[in-house]
Amino acid sequence: MSGPEPASVPGHLCVHSNPQVFLGFLTVLLPNVPSMTGNENTGNENTENEQAQGPKHRRNLTRRKVVVAGAGTVAAVGVGGTLTAGAFAGETGGKGATPKASSTATGADACYKLTSETTEGPYYIDADKIRQDITEDREGIPLTLRIKVIDSETCEPVRNAAVDIWHCDALGLYSGYESLSTGGGGGGGTPPSGAPTDVPSGTPTGSPPAGGGGGVHEEPTDDKRYLRGTWRTDKQGFVTFKTIFPGWYRGRCVHVHTKVHVNGEWTDAGYEGGNTCHTGQFFFDEESVLASAEVEPYSTSTTERTKLDEDTIYDGSGVQGGLLKLKYKENDIAEGVVGTITVGVDPEATHTGTE
């Protein structure tokens, strides 16, 4: 079906629906009208208060059920339906973070997609450790983890959500499960001598231990709770944790587990009720992990390491899959690392990671 005929004006000029042609035409007729191009700064970039939101019934119809684009996409509608895109939530570019615009997108469509859901893993504990600094006595490279939680449909911050994080220490041990963890330190002492006795025969059956990647939930085997904590998002959807750069254990790449709980109530005892709208994992790029491996106590680990692109949980989708944006001194990672990410969730959904 053809579109409307261009409007005719005196002098046989044609005004097309193309906004650049139209603006050029205006410039000819009205010399005082400034020229506008797509390279001008319109002031619409990096503003969280200018996202378009359709009517509630429209938003409900357009909620998407898949993953996050790293820096997110916020679109402002221009002349003739042209869209201009800018970085969301103050995040600037980075790998996989180039915003894209669609001429058919609506305000409800042009926002974050949902961050990837993953398994909870066997080592989750609802510990009610309401704290931002979860380090306790663990040695390792200081890590500041800054997370922003937003509604993936509206791009509005999710306020007063309870965000859990937990991860292993520098040598691959999980608090509460030290006897089950597959960490490996340099140890010390005298190695055993002689041939082993009581060697099992036959072919082993079943799968190897799942570690923190998957498998059935295990009951805690000790009372330790280091590197575990919960804190609430502020009015802008941000939450910050102080911890250490995680180590690794057999079968998994370096990662941090997370959950987001909403629609509950904060009490003196912690966070109660509501629903878990997101269960996921945050990942670290290979370059940063290699740098950490040169620093003690990480360098004393004897455990074989799984690389990011070899991991069975990470889906390879960059920020949308939980890949953190990391900042640290190139030649001195030991001084500390800052990791940031924006997580898009569906507050009405339930994702416990145990499905």
Tokens of 134: 């979860």
Specify the pLDDT at position 45.
39
220, 305 Cβ separation under 8 angstroms: no
Bridge partner list, 327: 338
Rounded Cα–Cα distance for residues 262 and 334 (Å): 35
Residues in the chain where the model's pLDDT stays below 70: 1-110, 182-215
Tokens of 13: 């000029």
Q: What is the dihedral of CA 236, 241, 247, 249, to 10 degrees?
A: -70
- What pLDDT digit, counting tens, does each position of 75-106 carry? 333 333 333 333 334 343 333 333 333 333 33
Specify the pLDDT at position 127.
76
Q: What pTM does this model have?
A: 0.65
The amino acid that residue 236 corresponds to is: Q
> What sections of 45-129 are H helices per DSSP?
56-62
Specify the pLDDT at position 167.
98
139, 244 Cβ separation under 8 angstroms: yes
